[in-house]
Copies of this chain bind each other. A is one copy, B any other.
Amino acid sequence: MRRAAVCGALEVNELQSLEAMVRRARLAAGQVLFEEGGPADEVFTLTEGVLRLYKLLRDGRRQITGFLIPGDYLGLAFAGTYAYGAEAVTDVALCRFPRRAFLRLLDEVPALERELLSRAGNELALAQEQMLLLGRKTARERLASFLVGFAERRGVEAGRPVALPMSRADLGDYLGLTMETVSRAFTNLCDAGLIALPDKRHYVVRHHERLLEAAGA
């Protein structure tokens, strides 16, 4: 895992300049960090909680493009405005960096740039996986894919309950479905014995193999 590498690089090489420019912030669940199209003058690192990134259509339809967990960074837009909005799913804590200072740091620390490039590559691969999901998978496959991937990303070991911080509606907007269809897919996977639902905000992977198979790839 390379999740800590940015912070690592900062702390080792540039502690003094980091100290000068880092600020910490907290947001309550549901609050907006920034909006799509807003001026992109800060870069963030998430340290606690979960964020959702999303894009909107004029009539209100929403696509969540990703959920961020501690260790993820966001906001590095090379255009002057954010390409997406960001909101707190749970209470969150994060580090904020002024964008200009961050770019200056980028000039001074080549390793940081390489790290960001590597991360961007990972994100791109994830985005392509998500396109496959949205364009070609069934509701059941979409949910199964998400549940497998999320458990893994959270580092939850097999058989352990995984916390689901987001609502069914959020999940729907992430998977390109409605809340109701997500709910039915949960029921379906549960009835099939692939997962268990101790309560509405937790799930357990009961058959990793079969769930992976239900995910379609």
Shortest distance between the CB of A151 and any CB in chain B (Å): 21
Interface size classification for chain A: 35 or more
So how many copies of this chain end up in the complex? 2
A21: interface (CB < 8 Å): no
User: At the interface, is chain A mostly helix, strand, loop or mixed?
Assistant: helix
A41: interface (CB < 8 Å): no
Known: A77-B121, A113-B117. A57 touches B137 (CB 8 A): yes
Shortest distance between the CB of A169 and any CB in chain B (Å): 13
A208: interface (CB < 8 Å): no
Contacts of A130 in B (CB 8 A): 131
Contacts of A120 in B (CB 8 A): 117, 120-121, 124
A167: interface (CB < 8 Å): no
Contacts of A77 in B (CB 8 A): 121, 125
Contacts of A117 in B (CB 8 A): 78, 113, 116-117, 120
